[in-house]
Structure 1
Amino acid sequence: QDFEGHIYVGTSSWIICHVPFKKTDITHNMAALPSSIPGRYFVANEQETAGACLKFLRDNVLFCDDPNRFNNPEVYQEFDKIVENVPPGSNGLIFTPWLFGERTPIENHTIRGGLHNISLPVKRDDIIRAVFEGVVYNSKWLFDLVEKFIKRKMDPVNIIGGGAQSNVWCQIYADVLNRTIRQVKNPIMANARGAAFIAAVGLGYCSFDDIPDLVQYSNIFQPNPENHKMYLQLYYEFLKLYKNNKAMYHRLNK
């Protein structure tokens, strides 16, 4: 349905919904592009790194000397267990996830990631949770601009992709965005199911209007008001980190 959004969390990330109009936001690198549904469009954007940040943490920091890391999917499950036991906000640690520049909500190939407000008491577990949260801060930056683009509030929001298999990450999304997050069942297969739905419509088995009722959910995550209030403070600092450091990144990486 128009204006019903979903968040994809994989190697990269995006926030998409269908709209009944064409529109372009050059400043924030977003546009409404033709959809597979006749006469409809979808809001196109891309956050450059999401799950890639966890892969970086796994391969370059925590398990760089472990030859079995590539064949051990349980690493990410261990991350989840660790993150669940760290207080929301990671004890004030902020991660900026721009490990490969950024596309939206800003087009800037020179910015880079970092850990901010780090101090001697910071533990490994704080760093891992901060990475989860930093990805979501960037998603909120994009999410707010998508809602401005469509002039609608998106709530609830579906979440798909490999990252959506993480319950704790889904809860962080709910708390940071202050939106109900619906975890689509088997979220890593969402693209394949979407293609199958389109084929089913083409073959006459159903209509596009039938599809929302066919989507199944594993969990529904409600935002925690106290967590959201705390996250807002960190999010505003996150935005300032970009504003205050983008010139330095340009000098270092031009």
Structure 2
Amino acid sequence: MVVGLIAGYGRLPLIAYNKLKERYDKVVVVSLAEEVTVDFSSVAENLHQFSVGQVGKIIKTLKSEGVQDILFAGKVNKTLLYKNLKLDFTAIKLLWALENRNDDTIMLKIVEELQKHGIGVLKQSDILRDLFLPEGVISKKKPNKAIMDDVAFGYKVAKVLGSVDVGQTVVVKNKAVMALEAIEGTDATIERGCRLAKEGAVVVKVAKPKQDERFDIPTVGIDTLKKILDNKGVCLAIEAGTTIVVDIDEVKKFCDENKLVMISFNGDRL
């Protein structure tokens, strides 16, 4: 079976590629030029690179390679839509057909277009299942009551934010919202929220209430923690079983070396 990988920002696409290679006969990589940070040229036998706006060319290439299913992996910054990104005819057609430009609306339209051409979309949760963490404290440093109160508060707010398909991340201090994620993305939200908090902010990241497991599953890693540390935050809290953690051993080491708290929580038990 031939599968495709649509590779965006970060290390997750490389991890996803290796997972796909274990399961499938042939993996075709389409790296998105504006976002990809991994050099696939030394590992991928079937590699193509396109701009994010070249949707028609991407689909044509996938079909010519005999791709039956694809996997999305890695972040694609939606702000590209507002930075004079060049769009091909297919991309323009899809954008004009959108009811709004929320994440799910855009991605579902892309999935629909792929399906019209006989290409399915794999669940990230199926391919990357071992990157999801169970409930528990990940760091050596344990959260105190004040942190857990902020996590419980932030969880409720983040779920409401996700229910209207705006974002997945909330920055909280003393049960007050410092920042809500919108189009700017997680890192910019952390920076803005922690700056307002000055120090001691808690970052809460959750799945949407009706999370589509084919795309946009919440993902964290070293970059997330560095952003929290650089802006004097104290904790990263993720929802257990629904959040991808990239390079967990490095994540644990970074937390412990920098005395950061990191927990994976069950919202029903907060």
Under TM normalisation by the shorter chain, which class is it?
under 0.3
Greater helix fraction, Structure 1 or Structure 2: 1
Give me the TM-score of the superposition, normalised by structure 2: 0.25
Pick 1 or 2: higher relative contact order, CA cutoff 8 A, min separation 6: 1
Give me the TM-score of the superposition, normalised by structure 1: 0.26
